[in-house]
Amino acid sequence: MRHASGNKAWILVVVLASFILGAFTSEDILNAITRQDVKAASRIIGIEMNNPEIDSLLPDLNEFRDAYIKSRAAKLDNSVAPALVFDPIPDVYIKKLSGRNAIALKNPGKVELPKDKDMLAWYSLQELAYLIREKKISSVELTKFFIARLKKYDPMLKCVITITEDLALEQAKKADAEIAKGNYKGTLHGIPYGIKDLFATKKYKTTWGAEPYKDQVLDYNATVVEKLNESGAVMVAKLTLGALAMGDEWYGGMTRNPWDMSTGSSGSSAGSASAVAAGLVPFAIGTETLGSIVSPSTVCGTAGLRPTFGRVSRHGAMALSWSMDKIGPICKTAEETAIVFNAIRGRDDKDLSTYDAPFYYRPNIHNTIKVGYVKSDFEKDYPFKKQDSLSLRTLKQMGIELIPIELPNLPDISPILLAEAAAAFDDLTLSNQDDELKQQAKNAWPNIFRGARFIPAVEYIQANRLRTQLIADMEKLFEKVDAYVHPSWASQSLRITNFTGHPCIVVPNGFQANGHPTSISFTGKWLKEGEIISLAEAYQKRAGFYKKHPTLKK
């Protein structure tokens, strides 16, 4: 008791002196941080301080809190990035890649319009491009076809937020006119696509899948949208995402898996994977921070490419984690991801994390690289073990010598994502608009954002230092192999490489007893997307699961 009363007397002296000098108001006196407050906070952050140490902190802590409150008056838009840029790739690594910038595609051969027009939904990008280039079908016709499918099946799948019909028909007419004049821009010219609704688009709302933003309009185009415009592609829809890029629940309901509409499509690129799998768009754009391309692609049976961090500009995309967000294509096959990725990649001065590095893709270059497999992962008992074991057998039958490897230990560096996400949406927490979000469970964003407020800045920095060590450990791994295969979910690789920025591609590799798709993943060196796409494409064509499609009934 003597210590407690002594503490109160000391606090009173400091506060009264500050009040006389004009540093505190009467409200400040009532709300001054006390020794008991600091002791409680110390337990939260896991450190111990004695009373004299705490007493010496109190004036600074009160000043810190005052500064925090004042700084909140400066409203920060989600698009404002921190002054620190995550850059895991050494300059010398990028210089070694100079001059290798080429993409070669397999010739689809002579392509004819199907007797059953609905079969166009399952044509590859290369096949659709052939039909448009040879004027067997117009972009307008193809666009109307996919818009009709979106309107027909979205009520069941809930994968669409906005059908951009007016824009799509305008872009399709422009593509047809350009092609008629002999100005053919390439494989994506005149091809419809959908984009995850966290990308800004002129004249259309950008909802981020969340109640507080469901009427938000960002009247400019994200860089990815501009790049696809330049390629001649046709935007037909803005597709669903789990609210603020988590899961498959958005303000309009749950996005469904076309293989089993009683289940969700996973997320957060929920609508992108669902729409491609259902044949509602030929390709779509998704994003990944910690599995949001790989996971829905696995559930829906699509090919999904998560490129190297910094390969694709995020300007105009909702920020969740400035040092982890990545943008990539979701398609039916691996080679199609190469086509779309080639169109959207590149340096952008509006996103300082982006690289000016070449992209080299050739079919069968997988035969020239060393391929590893995460031995201990495949030896575990896990849900996709049967399908993955058959995938390893297929790879060996293809003449690939699989080199056993083990991944480095993953330290708990989750404060990186949690703190950045909480900062990106701090306005929701401070304004209590987080109450508007449908998901309010323990593991939902509102609680996560509030909890992340208690992560000390020191711990965030320490987590990034551990991340530096993890990156170095992965560099040592890639001294042994050029790429490696691993289970999509039953492996730490998904988490590790989302923190280190390495690229990954996922493709279907079978079906469970309940008819749900399964997948296998390939991860490669920074900026070597071409190698893992070639490897995945060769495997996919050998395995043949991409030829199977869900049956949609209306």
Residue 404: half-sphere exposure toward Cβ, Cα within 13 Å: 5
Assigned token pair, 134: 């040879």
State the burial class of residue 400 (Cβ atoms within 10 Å of its Cβ: 0-12, 13-18, 19+).
buried
**With 50 as the cut, is the pLDDT of residue 11 above it?**
no
The model's pLDDT over 480-515, given as tens digits with 9 standing for 90+, comes to 999 999 999 999 999 999 999 999 999 999 999 999
Q: CA–CA separation, 523 vs 307, rounded Å? A: 10
Give 53's contacts (C-beta < 8 A, 6+ positions apart).
none
Identify the pLDDT of residue 9: 40
What percent of the chain stands above pLDDT 90? 91
Mean pLDDT value across residues 347-370? 94
**With 60 as the cut, is the pLDDT of residue 98 above it?**
yes
Beta bridge partners of 361: 103
The model's pLDDT over 462-471, given as tens digits with 9 standing for 90+, comes to 999 999 999 9
Identify the pLDDT of residue 278: 98
Do 136 and 107 contact (CB within 8 A), yes or no?
no
Mean pLDDT value across residues 175-199? 98
Identify the pLDDT of residue 91: 87
Torsions phi, psi for 523 (to 5 deg): -120, 145
Assigned token pair, 126: 């290369």
Mean pLDDT value across residues 158-167? 98
Q: Where are the beta strands (DSSP E) in 368-414?
A: 371-374, 402-405
Which band of pLDDT confidence, cut at 50, 70 and 90, is reported for residue 302?
A: very high
Which band of pLDDT confidence, cut at 50, 70 and 90, is reported for residue 102?
A: confident
Q: CA–CA separation, 181 vs 175, rounded Å? A: 10
Q: CA–CA separation, 318 vs 199, rounded Å? A: 7
Residues 146-149: contacts with CB under 8 Å, at least 24 apart: 146/121, 146/192, 146/236, 146/280, 146/281, 146/282, 147/192, 147/236, 149/121, 149/278, 149/279, 149/280
Q: CA–CA separation, 225 vs 233, rounded Å? A: 9
Identify the pLDDT of residue 225: 98
Identify the pLDDT of residue 27: 54
Do 233 and 189 contact (CB within 8 A), yes or no?
yes
DSSP three-state, residue 103: strand
Mean pLDDT value across residues 434-438? 96
* Average pLDDT over all residues of the chain: 94
Sign, CA dihedral 44-48-51-54, equals negative
Q: Which of 398, 330, 349, 368 is nearest to 539 (CA)?
A: 398
Q: What count of other Cβ atoms lies within 10 Å of the Cβ of residue 363?
A: 16
DSSP three-state, residue 253: strand
Assigned token pair, 460: 């965030």
Beta bridge partners of 160: 239
Q: Which of 138, 123, 226 is nearest to 179 (CA)?
A: 138
Bigger pLDDT: 398 vs 101: 398
Identify the pLDDT of residue 415: 98
**With 60 as the cut, is the pLDDT of residue 404 above it?**
yes
Identify the pLDDT of residue 10: 38
Identify the pLDDT of residue 279: 98
pTM of the model: 0.94
Q: CA–CA separation, 244 vs 287, rounded Å? A: 12
CA–CA distance from 30 to each of 15, 22, 24, 71 (Å)?
A: 10, 15, 10, 21
Which band of pLDDT confidence, cut at 50, 70 and 90, is reported for residue 28?
A: low
Q: CA–CA separation, 78 vs 553, rounded Å? A: 40
Domains of the chain: 2-71 (no CATH), 91-104+114-353+368-410+460-547 (3.90.1300.10)
Mean pLDDT value across residues 258-269? 98
Mean pLDDT value across residues 377-395? 98
Q: Which of 233, 210, 206 is nearest to 221 (CA)?
A: 206
Identify the pLDDT of residue 106: 87
Q: CA–CA separation, 290 vs 296, rounded Å? A: 12
CA–CA distance from 497 to each of 166, 211, 298, 331, 403 (Å)?
A: 40, 31, 17, 21, 19
Expressed in percent and rounded to 5, the helix, strand and coil fractions of the chain are 45, 15, 40
Give 494's contacts (C-beta < 8 A, 6+ positions apart).
290, 291, 294, 488, 504, 521
Residue 214: half-sphere exposure toward Cβ, Cα within 13 Å: 14
Q: What count of other Cβ atoms lies within 10 Å of the Cβ of residue 103?
A: 17
Mean pLDDT value across residues 201-226? 97
Highest mean pLDDT among 27-36, 93-102, 449-458: 449-458
What percent of the chain stands above pLDDT 70? 94
DSSP three-state, residue 203: coil
Q: Where are the beta strands (DSSP E) in 170-292?
A: 192-196, 234-239, 249-250, 253-254, 256-257, 260-264, 284-288
